[in-house]
Structure 1
Amino acid sequence: MINIKSDMEIQYMRSAGKVVAEALALIEEVIKPGITTAEIDKLAEEFIIRQGAKPSFKGYCGFPASICTSVNDEVVHGIPTNRILLEGDIISIDCGAILNGYHGDAARTFPVGKVSNESTMLIEITKNSFFKGVEKAIIGNRLSDISAAIQCYAEEHGYSVVRDFVGHGIGTSMHEDPEVPNYGAPDRGPKLVHGMVLAIEPMINIGKHYVKVKANRWTVVTRDGSLSAHYENTVAILKSGPEILTLN
């Protein structure tokens, strides 16, 4: 069942989204060669708690950290460790916060120092594919119009779209109905209405779309070892148009 949010609930989600956006902005400032993913996680957790919020991810289905840190060929759900980031790496940070009982969820992929042109383009195309999807996130369209726009843009530029993991509804639970795939034919699925809130999150690979889960049962990597990027925001469907709740 899709939970339609009231205007007051969306206001609560704006507040949660603001915490997430600010946490990601803070993280972007500290990402550099030599920092560990555990240090980034600690910084994010401390910031979220200072805002009066709680990290959405910590303890969720047993996840051991407050953010996901996915490096290079890691697609999503990377676990922070003592891994040191190196010049030329790329890292996807997925961050969630719960405030007043409502979640915000967003992800960004960042370069570590100077990266290759290939990495820069992957990050840019992934981000752009999200915004192509959001253009379709308007009342009266169907859910898969978002999905089709993301896939079309990414594949037109020679990239592949991960199929095994998708976006989702969000509210008092981090994962709610409906699922929001980043691929598929347009004009399918539920119609978009005022008060729907979706976490739209393209995961785009340089190589093929196939992925696998590592032995830790969390971290997802590309099967062919190719680079992957992730870009996500929490988006409210409103009469005035889509509102991105997790942008500064």
Structure 2
Amino acid sequence: MLHYQPVIDLRSGEVAGFEALLRWLDPESGRIVLPRDFLPGIMDSDLILNTGSWVLENAIGQISAWHSMGLSAKVSINVAPRQLQDPYFPELLKSTLQRFPEVDPSGIELEILENAAISDFQQLQKTLLACREIGVRLSLDDFGTGYSSLSHLKNLPVDLIKIDQSFVNGMLEDRGSMEFVHSIVSMSKIFRKAVLAEGVESVMQGRTLRRMGCDLAQGYAISEPMPGENIPQWVENWSEGWLEVLH
């Protein structure tokens, strides 16, 4: 199943979109299992290609369903490194979009991990450029955790940088994390990339990020992930002045 976590524009407070997050419902226990507990076991197998296709189809289908309800929403979709090394991935993306003609490709953002570039950088660039030609946006996820962050920032055709939550979570207590987050925001501006902070868990973190010039935020201070059918009501209830509320 897919759950969706809201993303907020830090300057306006408006809802900027959602991230589609994969969940597995254990049929025996009825428990919802998070990706970290089942994805590593399939990342290097063909099963990740089938899973990725299912996620793409269902996330775009959810955008279509929201559209029919009068809700225009942008959605980011995680794409596994092995999917991006598949030369047929852009064609899969195009054919999926063709089944939902009411969905604007610019409302879709594909999230790639820094380590996706380790095995075949040229193939990755080729795939990403082909996806850009289709009209979707691209983001670099978990930025700061890889070995060549600055090189990726310069050479990959991405629109958005997502700062890993491990740096955001402790930035108010740890000066090093604070300076690192600030440096990522500053570098991203130099390269004309938008910046999103993951794992925002307090209003104070949100305010600090806004002062730094960070564009977008995502985390439990805003909302936990939820089923797609819950999103329209959540959007209706959302308060754009959340950073002004004292907690």
Both proteins in one fold, TM over 0.5: no
Q: TM-score, normalised by structure 1?
A: 0.30
Whichever structure has more helix as a proportion of its residues is: 2
Which of the pair has more CA radius of gyration? 2
Whichever structure has more strand as a proportion of its residues is: 1
Q: TM-score, normalised by structure 2?
A: 0.30
